[in-house]
């Protein structure tokens, strides 16, 4: 039983790819399906009640066999029978069906778009973030009540996103009816661009319904919507509507409102209505504590010398601190060696170069792009060819050329020794798409600012 539930997402995705189901039918029919129970070879799948009119019959006719085949292939069951039931016709239960409820619960988490690792439990409190953490906890404990909006600001990689997700997790755990939505300002903008492009009122009403009928809205990196007229306008109304309904808003930015140069006064004043909290650079003790936490969470046991070496040398950014830690661990694993100070020095020789001004290299661009798209630099230099990887790979090629004029040959080298014609093709592809794709334009714009904030 567990195998079907555990692999349910994979089963749906496999049906999508194997049977060439395109996005719209997939999102309409397959994605909302949940497993209610598995009884021997009989699998009961729940169809949302809104689909009553055609849902059960249509889904059964079109997807029953593909689902049965895929379930058998992926779980090793010899045979199975899928039965579809409307949510409203489920038998009344006195006891909760835990696996089904868990899936429903998980959907709420999934809809909120959260990283499961970013919680208050894993957030190390130090003098640099004590105030922001306390403010975040107060807001999590009584959303919409105390500080609205909560505005968190600080430099790159210092824990703003982690803290925002912690608030969202806390609220979801403590209030099972609460609807929470986390978005980056880029996602908000791109969704709006898409809605406007569709050009119909239904799409716009849906967009508004989505953003205005929630209890907690978290918008990360708000600085990227400044200057984007229609996004600003829509966000302004979203803000007002939520705020007047006493719904909690949490915003993050790289600067406080007073220092955001081209921010309109109506935003500045609203952002200052609630509480403004900053996160600054972590001191040595906090850096040590974060590294120890990483060590503990990964079940490592590393010599104190190594931890001190990393904490002493990486000061400006917790993301880089974690990156350095991971690099040392990866180095040890690769060479099958103990983690010694010597090995750490060797592994970090390119990162630790005291007092050297940060130069933008192809490797740096690739790492920023990878993080932005939620993949790893190794994925981008590897051989995978699915769209989740190919697109960011081509974006990296384009940005290396655009920002630092890297020769095609060197871009290819930094991306797993690809030849220059592949790189040229990748760059042209992005240039062509930029002609018509406003979402991509927005993303490229944000990436350029992330890579070179001064540029």
Shortest distance, CB of residue 145 to ligand ATP, whole angstroms? 25
Binding residues (CB under 6 A) for ligand ATP: these are 118, 122-124, 129, 154, 156-162, 221, 290, 293, 318-319, 322
Give CA–CA dist 413/419, Å, rounded: 8
Residue placing its CB nearer to ligand ATP in the complex, 256 or 416: 256
Shortest distance, CB of residue 452 to ligand ATP, whole angstroms? 14
Shortest distance, CB of residue 142 to ligand ATP, whole angstroms? 23
For the annotated binding site, the residues are: 157, 159-161
Shortest distance, CB of residue 120 to ligand ATP, whole angstroms? 10
DSSP 26: I
Residue with tokens 């978005």: 183
- Count other Cβ atoms within 10 Å, centred on residue 430: 20
Longest Cα–Cα distance in the chain: 68
HSE on the CB side for 189, CA within 13 Å? Answer: 26
Residue placing its CB nearer to ligand ATP in the complex, 161 or 381: 161
Shortest distance, CB of residue 148 to ligand ATP, whole angstroms? 21
Shortest distance, CB of residue 367 to ligand ATP, whole angstroms? 12
For the annotated binding site for ATP, the residues are: 157, 159-161
Residue placing its CB nearer to ligand ATP in the complex, 187 or 437: 187
Residue placing its CB nearer to ligand ATP in the complex, 37 or 221: 221
Q: Is 138 exposed, middle or buried (0-12, 13-18, 19+ CB in 10 A)?
A: middle
Tokens of 211: 């953003």
Q: How far is CA 362 from CA 240, 403, 408, 444, in A?
A: 42, 10, 11, 16
Contact 324, 367 (CB under 8 A): no
DSSP string, 323-344: HHHHHHHHHHHHHT----HHHH
Give CA–CA dist 425/203, Å, rounded: 35
HSE on the CB side for 378, CA within 13 Å? Answer: 2
Give CA–CA dist 195/205, Å, rounded: 9
Shortest distance, CB of residue 117 to ligand ATP, whole angstroms? 7
Residue placing its CB nearer to ligand ATP in the complex, 162 or 228: 162
Name the residue whose CB lies closest to ligand ATP.
Answer: 159
**Residue 416, phi then psi, degrees to nearest 5:** 75, 35
Beta bridge partners of 252: 152
Coil, strand, or helix at residue 168? Answer: helix
Residue placing its CB nearer to ligand ATP in the complex, 129 or 442: 129
Residue placing its CB nearer to ligand ATP in the complex, 71 or 260: 260
Shortest distance, CB of residue 322 to ligand ATP, whole angstroms? 5
Contact 314, 324 (CB under 8 A): yes
Residue placing its CB nearer to ligand ATP in the complex, 30 or 158: 158
Q: Residue 208 CA to chain centroid, in angstroms?
A: 22
Shortest distance, CB of residue 347 to ligand ATP, whole angstroms? 19
Residue placing its CB nearer to ligand ATP in the complex, 37 or 220: 220
**The total number of residues written for the chain in this structure:** 455
Coil, strand, or helix at residue 68? Answer: helix
Tokens of 397: 């090629």
Residue placing its CB nearer to ligand ATP in the complex, 122 or 410: 122
Q: Residue 453 CA to chain centroid, in angstroms?
A: 21
Residue with tokens 């968190």: 152
Shortest distance, CB of residue 33 to ligand ATP, whole angstroms? 33
Tokens of 234: 């829509």
């Amino acid at each position: 039983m567990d195998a079907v539930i555990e692999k349910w997402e994979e089963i749906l995705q496999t049906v999508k790819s194997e049977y060439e189901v395109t996005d719209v039918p997939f999102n309409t029919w397959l994605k909302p399906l949940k497993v209610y129970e598995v009884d021997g070879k009989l699998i009961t799948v729940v169809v949302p009640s809104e689909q009553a009119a055609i849902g059960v019959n249509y889904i059964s006719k079109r997807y029953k066999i593909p689902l049965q085949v895929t379930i058998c292939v992926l779980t090793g069951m010899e045979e199975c029978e899928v039965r579809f039931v409307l949510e409203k016709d489920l038998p009344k239960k006195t006891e909760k069906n835990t696996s089904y409820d868990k899936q429903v619960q998980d959907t709420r988490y999934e809809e909120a778009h959260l990283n499961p690792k970013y919680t208050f439990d894993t957030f190390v409190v130090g003098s640099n973030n004590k105030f922001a953490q306390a403010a975040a906890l107060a807001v999590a404990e009584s959303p919409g009540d105390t500080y609205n909006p909560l505005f968190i600001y600080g430099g790159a990689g210092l824990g703003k996103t982690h803290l925002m997700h912690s608030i969202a997790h806390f609220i979801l755990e403590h209030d099972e009816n609460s609807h929470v939505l986390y978005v980056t300002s880029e996602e908000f903008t791109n969704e709006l661009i898409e809605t406007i492009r569709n050009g119909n009122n239904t799409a716009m009403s849906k967009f508004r319904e989505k953003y205005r009928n929630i209890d907690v809205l978290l918008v990360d990196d708000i600085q990227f919507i400044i200057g984007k007229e229609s996004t600003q306008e829509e966000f302004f109304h979203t803000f007002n509507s939520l705020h007047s309904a006493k719904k909690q808003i949490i915003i993050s930015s790289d600067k406080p409102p007073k220092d955001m140069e081209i921010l309109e006064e109506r935003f500045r004043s609203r952002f200052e209505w609630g509480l403004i909290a900053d996160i600054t650079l972590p001191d040595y003790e906090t850096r040590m504590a974060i590294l120890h936490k990483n060590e503990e969470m990964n079940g490592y046991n590393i010599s104190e010398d190594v931890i001190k070496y990393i904490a002493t040398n990486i000061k400006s950014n917790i993301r880089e601190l974690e990156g350095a830690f991971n690099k040392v661990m990866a180095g040890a694993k690769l060479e099958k060696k103990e983690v010694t100070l010597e090995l750490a020095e060797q592994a970090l020789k390119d990162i630790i170069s005291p007092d050297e001004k940060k130069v933008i290299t192809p490797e740096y661009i690739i790492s920023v792009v990878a993080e932005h798209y939620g993949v790893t630099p190794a994925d981008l230099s590897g051989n995978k060819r699915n769209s989740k990887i190919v697109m960011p790979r081509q974006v990296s090629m384009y940005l290396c050329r655009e920002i630092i004029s890297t020769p095609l040959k060197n871009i290819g080298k930094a991306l797993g020794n690809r030849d220059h014609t592949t790189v040229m093709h990748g760059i042209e592809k992005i240039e062509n798409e930029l002609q018509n794709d406003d979402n991509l334009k927005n993303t490229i714009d944000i990436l350029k600012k992330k890579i070179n904030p001064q540029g």
